[in-house]
Amino acid sequence: MRTWYRSTIGGLPKMYWFLWTGMLINRVGGFVALVLSLYLTSDRGLKPSAAGLVVGLYGIGGIAGVLLGGVLADRWGRRPTLLLAHFGAVVFLAGLAMTTHIPTIAALAALLGLMHAMPGPAFVAAIVDVVPDRDRSRAFNLQFWAFNLGMAAASLIAGLLAEVSFALLFAVDAAGTLVTAVLLLWKVRETKPVAQREAEEPRGGLHTALTDRAFLSFVGLSLLLAVVTLQSSTILPLAITADGLRPTVYGSVVAYAGLLIVAGQLFVPKLIDRWRKGTTLAVANVFLGLGVACVALAADVPGYLLAATVWTVGSMLAAPPNAAVIAELSPEALRGRYQSVFYLIFPAASFIAPAAGGASLEFLGDWHWVICGGLGAVAAVGHLLIQPARERRVHAAAAARRERLEVPVAG
C-alpha cells in the first residue's frame, strides 16, 4: 500500500493539490450544462429546436473561452485567468437563476459557456508549471480521475435538484463555483515562470501552435480518439434502443463505465510507468477502438457492458500520457496557448461525432461500429509513427534548457 501511495499520489507539490481540489469542486458543481436543454423546454416552454439553439450558444461561448483562456493564461498569468473565469461564472449563474427573459437567458448561456471553458488551459498550464517532468503523468492521471468523479457527482446532483427547482440548481452551481474561486484566491499563487512574468510579451502566439507540425500531428490523432470516444455518449443510445432495450440500459452502461474509471484510474500510473508515451497511447487507442467495435456484436446488457469495459480501459490508459505529451510539446512561454488549441478538439469532436456518426449508423448499420474500431487502429499506428520524431524534439528542447541554465552570467 505504501509503495502504491508513493507511485500514485505521494511527492506531488502542495500547490498541485490546491489546483486539483479546485478542479474537483468546480466539476462537482458544474452541472448546469447537463440540464440546460431540459430547463429550457420544461421550465421556460421552448421547443426543442429553440432550446438546441440556446445550448449551441453555450457551446460557441465555450470555443471562444478556450482560446481566450489560453491567451490570457500566457499574458496575464494563470491565477488572474482562473479568478476571472470563476467569479465571472458566479455572476452569470446568478443571472440565470433570476431571469425568465429568453433573449437574456440566451446571452447569459453564451457568456457562461465562455467562462466555463476559460479555466481549462490555465489549470493545465499551472499544473505543468508546478509539477516536475517525471511526475506529470501521475498528476494528469489524478486530474482525469477527479474529472470523472466530479462528473458522476454532478450528474447525480443535477438530477435531484432539477426535480426540486431549476433556480435552486443555478444557485447551488453558483455556490460551488464561488467556493472554487475563493479557494483559488486564498491558496493558489501565480505559477507562471518568473522569466515570462518579466518579459513584455512571449515570442510567438496562437499562430505558433497552429503551425507547429509535430504538435498538430498529435492534436489530429487526439481528435480521432475524441471522435471515437464520443460515440459512446452520442450514438450508442441509438444502438441500444434499436436492439429493443430500454433507455435505462444506456444510463446503466454509462454509470458502469464511470465506476470503472473511479475504481481503476488510480492504479494506471504504476501499470504504464515504464512504457513510452506513444506506445501507451497506441495501446489505448487499440482498446478504445476494439471496445467500440464490440458494439456491433452486442445485443443485450452483458454485451454492452463487455464493450464498455474494453473501451473504458482504453480511456483510462490514454488520459495520463495524452496530457503529458501536450505539456512536453508546449514552449514554456506559450503553454496556455498550446493548451487552448488542444482543447479545441473537444467542441470539434462534439460536432463531428454525432453529425458523422448518425449518418454512418443510418446508412451502414453495425458496420459503423467496425469503422470506428478501424479509426482507433489508425490512430494507434499514427502514434507509433510520430513517436520517434516527437521524442527527438522533446530531448533536444530539454538539452537546450539545460545548456541555458549552465551558461554563466556575464559580469
For residue 141, the domain's CATH number is 1.20.1250.20
- Cα 284 to Cα 124, 254, 273, 290: the distances in Å are 22, 19, 14, 10
Residue 294 inside a domain? The answer is yes
- Give the end of a domain, one of 188, 216, 233: 188
Give the 3-state DSSP-derived string for 1-35, with helices as H, strands as E and coil as C.
CHHHHHHHCCCCCHHHHHHHHHHHHHHHHCCHHHH
CB 70 within 8 A of CB 117: no
Provide the residue-wise pLDDT of the chain in tens; the chain has 411 residues: 555 555 556 679 999 999 999 888 877 766 777 678 778 887 888 887 788 788 878 888 888 999 999 999 999 999 999 999 999 999 999 999 898 899 999 999 999 989 988 998 999 999 999 999 888 888 888 988 888 888 777 767 777 787 788 888 888 889 989 999 999 999 999 998 865 555 545 566 788 888 999 999 999 999 999 999 988 877 888 888 888 888 778 778 877 888 898 888 888 888 888 899 999 999 999 999 999 999 999 999 999 999 999 999 999 999 889 888 988 898 888 888 998 999 889 888 877 888 788 888 888 999 999 999 999 999 999 999 999 999 999 888 878 777 766 655 444
User: Pick from 188, 218, 244: which residue ends a domain?
Assistant: 188
Are residue 307 and residue 250 in the same domain, yes or no? yes
Structural domain boundaries enclosing 50: 11-188
User: What is the distance between the alpha carbons of residues 345 and 123, in angstroms, rounded to a whole number?
Assistant: 17
Query: Is the residue at 197 inside a domain?
Result: no
Q: Are residues 229 and 106 in the same domain?
A: no
How many independent structural domains does the chain possess?
A: 2
172 and 214 inside one domain: no
Dihedral, 104, 109, 112, 114 alpha carbons, nearest 10: -110
pTM of the model: 0.79
CB distance 112 to 88 below 8 Å: no
- 30 and 132 co-located in one domain: yes
The reply to whether 321 falls in a domain is: yes
Single out the residue in 155, 188, 221 at which a domain terminates. 188
* Grid coordinates given for 360: 454512418
Task: With respect to residue 126, please indicate whether it lies within any of the assigned structural domains.
Answer: yes
Q: What is the pLDDT of residue 405?
A: 64
Domain assignment of residue 371, yes or no: yes
For residues 175 and 234, membership in a common domain is answered with no
Q: Are residues 220 and 74 in the same domain?
A: no
3 state DSSP class of 152: helix
The verdict on residue 357 lying in a domain is yes
Same domain? 104 vs 229: no
- Alpha-carbon torsion (182, 165, 256, 238), positive or negative: negative
**Strand, helix or coil for residue 212:** coil
Q: What's the pLDDT at 8?
A: 58
Give yes or no for a contact between 240 and 247, defined as CB atoms under 8 angstroms apart: yes
> 144 is written with which cell numbers?
482525469
Q: Do 360 and 211 share a structural domain?
A: yes
Q: 356 with 278, same domain?
A: yes
The single-letter DSSP state of residue 297 is: T
Q: What is the pLDDT of residue 411?
A: 45
Asked if residue 6 is part of any domain, the answer here is no
Q: How many CB atoms lie within 10 A of CB 393?
A: 15
Residues 184, 218: one domain?
no
2 within domain boundaries: no
Residue with cell 440546460: 36
Looking at the structure, do residues 309 and 402 belong to the same domain, yes or no?
yes
